[in-house]
Structure 1
């Protein structure tokens, strides 16, 4: 059970973002694909995503204030950090783990249409 005051909530997305990009690039994927995943999940445009990163928005606010969370995100299943994402009850933590799972899928070489549940 995740606590509502987990430190990841106050962590800025921009501080973790380079790790997402590095993980993808290490496996031959691109920053553009990471951005596409984040935009698909949150409804951000590239400019609004760049703005949130520049403002150092924390994870909690990033997801709460997202323009339009993708309704297909409930199709994201599997294990991240030893936890099944579909079983996470706390909404913000579930969103964070959805993002983690999508980046994992990208790094594992899954094609973008499958990652974006198309």
Structure 2
């Protein structure tokens, strides 16, 4: 295939996408206990994914980069927007392919301004 699949990243990205879909379902009740738990889940998954994929929080610059990555992920309401965050985050471009993201998400992220 020409590349090594990072299965941990694949599982984290898929879990993050599923959590964003769940967040969208909970949108009518954003202050519900379930919505708050979902928000925390997305934040934890984004932090773990960022660290796993190389956004280090050991330096001030790295901490700021990880914080921006998490903040941008928390703003996503569609799975293609997660791919868009990966496009805009240095070092995360390597994950912009299948099986990490669906072809539809990648195409929509590419078309988005």
Same fold (TM > 0.5): no
> Rg: which structure is higher?
2
Q: What TM-score comes out, normalization by structure 1 length?
A: 0.29
Higher relative contact order at CA 8 Å, sep ≥6: structure 1 or structure 2? 1
Instruction: Considering fraction of residues, name the structure with more helix.
Output: 2
